[in-house]
Structure 1
Amino acid sequence: MPLEIERKFLLGDFEPPDTAVRQHIEQGYITIKDDGTEVRLRRIADSCVLGVKRKDSSAGAPVRIEVERELGEQEFTELWPATEGARLSKDRYTFEASGVTVYADVYQGELAGLRTAEVEFGSEAEAEAFSAPEWFGAEITGVKAYKNQTLATRGRPGREV
């Protein structure tokens, strides 16, 4: 199974570097379970994706199993209404910094003003060894209020970490 091992941080003022690749993402959730399992739809540029994530019970906190499948436009359009009330929109900037690939998300709509950065790793050891650059803000890995599924259903947290 494909694993997702990541750490997530708040960002303050953020200006993407010239080398950053920007992608607009529309994301909606069909299912969100208390155990962290989620089924989501994503439109990234011209690509439509159905994804399932769940915690890997045999691994540590930042590790989840993630499976994604391409959908056709018609399939996406037919499923999208099932995400009503559980959606978000953001621009994602992907670039290299501090020896890692950074995924910086600038949220829109009701979440405007929220900016986060995620870094994915090949192993739990790499994730633990990572030292965040100074321009990253507070770490929010595992903080439920900042998980995309929570942001999509409850909005922006009322207090910062």
Structure 2
Amino acid sequence: MTHADPVEIERKFLVKRLPDLARARCYTVRQGYCTHPDDSISMRLRQKSDQLFLTVKTGEGPVRSEREIPIEAEQFNVLWPATTGRRIEKKRWIGPLGNGHLFELDIFCGAHQPLQMVEVEFDTLEDAEAFTPPDWFGREVSTDKAYRNKSIALWGVPQQPMSV
């Protein structure tokens, strides 16, 4: 990864219990993967409410390169069939954590229920490492490939305990 690459630094956790969502906003996300989970590059189509995106991610762990571009409905509709069998749908809640960070809480729908995960994005790896998760966060799954959205889309919810 070069310094010119847009970088995503995040930590991801299972959810021990739902927080107060009064100050959070919610939207529906539907996404499908054009690539297989074992591919070194991930290409994803995402619909966030009425916005459509094509995203390419590379790398492993909490720091990865991410490029996302908005696309038109016609482009989305041409590519969407390529994601058959590799799709997820979820409700995403975004809200303040009170320490300058935002949480992104994903409540999965359909075949992926009752999975709930929360992630926090950071500006630097040092910020990510210094982060102390609130008590409603469960076990960290940032480096567990089974909890990547593209793995869940293909193989379903991991059969491991989903709390703490």
Q: Which TM-score tier does this pair reach, normalised by the shorter chain?
A: over 0.9
- The aligned counterpart of 1:143 is 144
* 2:74 alignment partner in structure 1: 74
Partner of 2:157: 156
Alpha-carbon deviations, 1:34-76, whole Å to 9, x = none?
A: 35420000000110100000017xxxx3100000011101110
Q: Which amino acid aligns with 1:106?
A: I
Q: Does 1:7 align with 2:11?
A: yes
Instruction: Report the TM-score, using the length of structure 1 for normalisation.
Output: 0.93
For 1:77 and 1:71, how far apart are their aligned partners in 2? 10
SS in 2 for 1:131: coil
Structure-2 separation of matches of 1:155 and 1:89: 12
How far apart are 1:3 and its partner, in Å?
0.2
Q: Look up the equivalent residue of 1:97 and give its one-letter code.
A: L
The alpha-carbon distance between structure 1 residues 153 and 11, as it changes in their structure 2 partners (threshold 3 A), is: same
Task: Report the Cα distance in structure 2 between the residues aligned to 1:5 and 1:127, rounded to whole angstroms.
Answer: 7
Asked if the contact 1:38/1:53 (under 8 Å) is kept, the reply is yes
Identity rate, percent: 38
Aligned residues: 157
What is the identity, as a one-letter code, of the residue corresponding to 1:119?
V
Q: What corresponds to 2:104 in structure 1? A: 103
Change (3 A) 1:16 1:154: farther
- CA shift for structure 1 position 103: 0.2
Matched, 1:41 2:45: yes
Runs of 4+ displaced beyond 3 Å: none
Paired residue secondary structure (1:31):
coil
Q: Is the 8 A contact 1:16 1:93 kept in 2?
A: no
Contact 2:95 2:103 in 1 (8 A): yes
Structure-1 separation of matches of 2:109 and 2:116: 10
Describe the SS at the equivalent of 2:58: strand
CA distance in 1, matches of 2:155, 2:39: 17
> 2-side partners of 1:48 and 1:40: how far apart?
11
- Normalized against structure 2, the TM-score is what? 0.91
Letter in 1 for 2:97: A
Looking at structure 2, the residues matched to 149 and 80 of structure 1 have their Cα atoms a distance apart, in angstroms, of: 15
Alpha-carbon separation, structure 2, partners of 1:94 and 1:55: 25
* 8 Å contact kept, 2:17–2:137: no
**Where does structure 2 lack aligned partners over 5 or more consecutive residues?**
none
SS in 1 for 2:77: helix
